[in-house]
Every structure is written in structure tokens, then in C-alpha cells.
Amino acid sequence: MTRFVLLFALQLACLISVPLHAGEEQPAPVTAILGAMEVEISILTKALTEPAEQSVQQLKFTRGMLGGRRVVIARTGVGKVNAAIVATLLLEHFKPSEVLFTGIAGSLNPNMHPGDIVIAEKTAQHDFGDFTAQGLQSKGTRSPVTWKRNPLFFEADKRLLALAHVSAGRLKLQALPTSEGERTPKILRGVVVTGDVFVADGGKKGELHKTFSADAVEMEGAAVAQVCYQQNVPCLVIRCMSDVADANALKDARSFGPAAAENSARLIQDLVAQLGDEAGKKP
């Protein structure tokens, strides 16, 4: 009987959260930053102070300070499944207060060119749904927990959007060369769609732009947004155009990809610095 009571008491203790003692500080918030490829996160990892690597399920996560903010940075690899795996492990092990996704994308908006940035107001998976005689009928995924239908579009966190808007207004982006001389990129808010294919076809580009009113296409953002949505973690996807998703997309991505990745990372850095300033002002 005594043993039973002791076990019950231990189990109950595990279920009860222990309040902080008077004067004890809350753990400092941490911002998570993800990118699919090394070129998309390297500028950020190199800028870290107090960097420390940690392996989770053989995946590398790098912790440190960036712009006065505690951050954790990881490469997801290409594609929705890879991105969802890393995002899930990230949320479980590091408990970030928000997740930012940075990297390159293909432009679907005819007014956007390599170097331009889209701050995603919402994201969607363009290759999920029912394929019928009329083509693909897009729909939202289902939560594996509740089995309820998720929205087709995952809305970005409004606070992060507002901070990104401030960064966009004061940021100087790297100019990119064109046949008509150097061009200064622009930043806009728009729609980003995600799928497990690299789009390099004018017809598909037009279809995605028309169907989703989308400005950019990539291969990870909406998958990360779904994980964050289901776990109630604020999320924002930021993408810089490396190509215009046409027949020359692969060639252009190789040419403009590094500069585009750097522009996206610069916006992320400024946004993170704002988060650091916010934390510093709190009593």
C-alpha cells in the first residue's frame, strides 16, 4: 500500500508544473530559423556569436546569439517531408517562440524578378488534393490529431508580418546584374505556394499564379507552416526570387541563387534584431 501511494505521488508530481520562485527569471525566448539548403542559412550561422552545435536524430541544429536574440538554426533539406521532419524535431526539442523560414524561390508574379523578396502573408501546398478528370482539385490537409481539415492557406503570424514590414522599409538589398545593368530588388507581401517539384515551365507557372494568386513557388514553406499551425507556433516564410520558374529556371537559380539567398537572410537578420530589441525592452 505504501509503495502504491508513493508511486501515485510521484506520477502526480510529474503532472504538476512547478512555479518559478520569486525573482527567478523566465527562460529567454528562442527564435528558430530554417532553410532548405546550406547556402540559405550559412550567412546566418556565420553571424552567430556563442555558436554551439547539437545533434537530434542525426540532424544538426546550431544554437547561438543573433542580433541580441537567442536563435537555433537548421537546414531542412529539400522537399515537404524533409522540412516537416526537421520542423517537428525543432519544436519538440527547442520549444521556439516563433519559426522563420528563409531561402530562394521561383517567381510566379510577372512583376517580380530575381533578387526580389516575397514576405508570405499566407502559404499553401499546390500539389495536395484530388486528381480528377478536371485536373487537381486542391484542398487543405487533415490534422493527424483531430482529423479536422486544415485550411488550404496557412496565414502568417501578424506580429511577425508587422516586424518584417518594418525591416523591408529600411533594408538595403544586394543589387543583381541584368542585361540592362544592375537592378535594385524590391520587397512585397504576397502568397507563396509549396510543392514537391521544382517548377521550370511557363505553363505550370501561369497555372499556379492563376489558381492560387501566388507570387512565388518553392518546396518547403507550407509544410513548415502546417507543422507550426497544428502546434500553435507563430511562423513566417520569407523567400527571395532566384528565377522566374520558366524554362531557364535551373540555369538562373544557379546564377542568382547565392545573391537571392543572401538577400533573404539579410531580411531575416533585421527581423531577428527587432525581436531581440523587443525582448530587451521587457521588464
Residue 207 among the catalytic residues:
no
Global confidence as pTM? 0.87
Identify the sign of the CA torsion 122, 124, 126, 132. negative
**pLDDT tens, residue by residue, 130-156:** 999 888 899 989 988 888 999 999 999
The pLDDT score that the predictor gives to residue 183 is 84
The pLDDT score that the predictor gives to residue 201 is 96
- Rg (the chain; Cα; Å): 21
Report which of 65, 60, 72, 127 is spatially closest to residue 97, judged by C-alpha positions.
72
Q: Could you tell me the pLDDT band of residue 3, with boundaries at 50, 70 and 90?
A: very low
More confident residue, 192 or 16: 192
For the segment 107-111, the average pLDDT, to the nearest whole number, is: 95
For the segment 197-225, the average pLDDT, to the nearest whole number, is: 97
The pLDDT score that the predictor gives to residue 179 is 62
Identify the sign of the CA torsion 217, 222, 223, 224. positive
Beta-strand (E) ranges in 108-234?
A: 117-125, 129-132, 135-138, 153-155, 176-178, 181-183, 187-194, 216-218
What are the boundaries of each domain within the chain? 103-281
Q: Could you tell me the pLDDT band of residue 173, with boundaries at 50, 70 and 90?
A: confident
Collect all residues with Cβ–Cβ distance below 8 Å to 140 and sequence separation of at least 6. Answer: 128, 149, 150, 151, 152
Residue 218 among the catalytic residues:
no
Active-site pick, 98, 243, 252, 262? 243
Question: By the 8 A CB rule, do 172 and 142 touch?
Answer: no
Interstrand relation of 176-178 and 49-56 (parallel, antiparallel or unpaired) = unpaired
pLDDT at 7 over 60: no
Scanning the chain, the segments in alpha helix (DSSP H) are 2-15, 38-46, 80-94, 158-170, 202-212, 221-230, 249-281
Q: Report which DSSP code applies to 140.
A: -
More confident residue, 20 or 56: 56
**pLDDT tens, residue by residue, 69-97:** 999 999 999 999 999 999 999 999 999 99
For the segment 114-118, the average pLDDT, to the nearest whole number, is: 94
Active-site pick, 40, 98, 116, 220? 40
pLDDT at 11 over 60: no
Which CATH code of 3.30.360.10, 3.40.1260.10, 3.10.129.10, 3.40.50.1580 fits the domain covering 103-281? 3.40.50.1580
Report phi then psi at 181, rounded to 5: 105, 180
